[in-house]
Amino acid sequence: MTQKLIYKIATRDQWEKAEKTGFFEGAPIDLADGYIHFSTAATVRETAAKHFAGQDSLLLIAVDEAALGDKLKYEVSRGNALFPHLYDKLNLNAVIWAAELPLDDNQLHIFPENFEG
């Protein structure tokens, strides 16, 4: 069975804190909403452009969807698309990789070569 990945964009500071504790509690918006917002491969570029425009010091985190169990729910959000929401902390054991999300000269995010979206 093919591993399905979902994606989280986080600041370097948020991710360094998670690496120290072994779990990611969420960004401020996640904490306010009561769940961790994720994107699919099809939606993460739009998420970066809409919610993180011009921001640097970001990471793209790839997470194994199956490792999150029944705490992960797909719910209708932006543009009637289904987005994955995690109603729990993200255990870093579910993380497949994390990569820098730098900006190009036009202030657009450059996605890593291993990103398939």
> How many domains in the chain?
1
Q: Does residue 37 sit within a domain?
A: yes
CATH label of the domain that carries residue 20: 3.20.170.20
Q: Does residue 106 sit within a domain?
A: no
Q: In this structure, what is the dihedral angle of CA atoms 102, 107, 113, 117, given to the nearest 10 degrees?
A: 120
Q: Which domain holds residue 38?
A: 5-100
pLDDT per position in the chain (117 positions), as tens?
Answer: 567 999 999 999 999 999 999 999 999 999 999 999 999 999 999 999 999 999 999 999 999 999 999 999 999 987 788 999 999 999 999 999 999 999 999 999 999 987 876
Supply the pLDDT for residue 80.
Answer: 85
Q: Does residue 66 sit within a domain?
A: yes
Q: Does residue 29 sit within a domain?
A: yes
Q: Does residue 70 sit within a domain?
A: yes
